[in-house]
Amino acid sequence: VNKIRLTGGEPTVRKDIVDIISNLKQIKGLEVVAMTTNGLMLTRQLVALQRAGLDIINVSLDTLIPERYERITRRKGWQRVMLGVDLALQLGYDLVKLNCVVMKDFNEDEIINFVELTKNKNLDVRFIEYMPFTG
């Protein structure tokens, strides 16, 4: 194993997430520690996470429209997520990845907007197909 990705739930809700990353970085042969997050806590935690050794950051973000963000997440926070993405870029993360689940009649009209965003910022967008749960 040379790469570990922390995912969720939401890894940043753990009070010991900085220690977890720091401890992972001590593992011989482990080259990369990555994390996928909803991005809400990045402005508060990313500096410490980077110091602990976080190498790669992925942010799950399904819309670039604040009102849609509130509708799907049932909370405010879109601007905080975007500030966290910008902070990651300012801190020198080479490439911040955005994971976007594309949903018919919700955000399919934003695909071009996500692509345009990558022209102005060092971002990589991964479009993920929506998998409805019917069971």
Could you read off the pLDDT of 51-77 as tens digits, one per residue? 999 999 999 999 999 999 999 999 999
In a domain, 120, yes or no: yes
**What per-residue confidence (pLDDT) applies to 122?**
93
Which burial class, exposed, middle or buried, applies to 96 when counting CB atoms under 10 A from its CB (0-12, 13-18, 19+)?
buried
CA atoms of 64 and 25, how far apart (whole Å): 33
Residue 114 belongs to domain with CATH number:
3.20.20.70
In a domain, 117, yes or no: yes
In a domain, 98, yes or no: yes
**How many domains does the chain fold into?**
1
54: three-class secondary structure by DSSP: coil
In a domain, 74, yes or no: yes
In a domain, 134, yes or no: no
Count of Cβ atoms closer than 10 Å to residue 88 Cβ: 27
By residue range, what is the domain housing residue 66? 3-129
Comparing CA positions, the residue from 127, 115, 54, 116 lying closest to residue 84 is 54
**What per-residue confidence (pLDDT) applies to 135?**
64
pLDDT at position 111 over 70: yes
Give 26 or 134, the one with higher predicted confidence.
Answer: 26
In a domain, 125, yes or no: yes
**What per-residue confidence (pLDDT) applies to 130?**
84
Count of Cβ atoms closer than 10 Å to residue 116 Cβ: 11
DSSP structural state of residue 94: S
Could you read off the pLDDT of 75-106 as tens digits, one per residue? 999 999 999 999 999 999 988 999 999 998 89
Could you read off the pLDDT of 12-47 as tens digits, one per residue? 999 999 999 999 999 999 999 999 999 999 999 999
**What per-residue confidence (pLDDT) applies to 131?**
78
In a domain, 9, yes or no: yes
In a domain, 135, yes or no: no
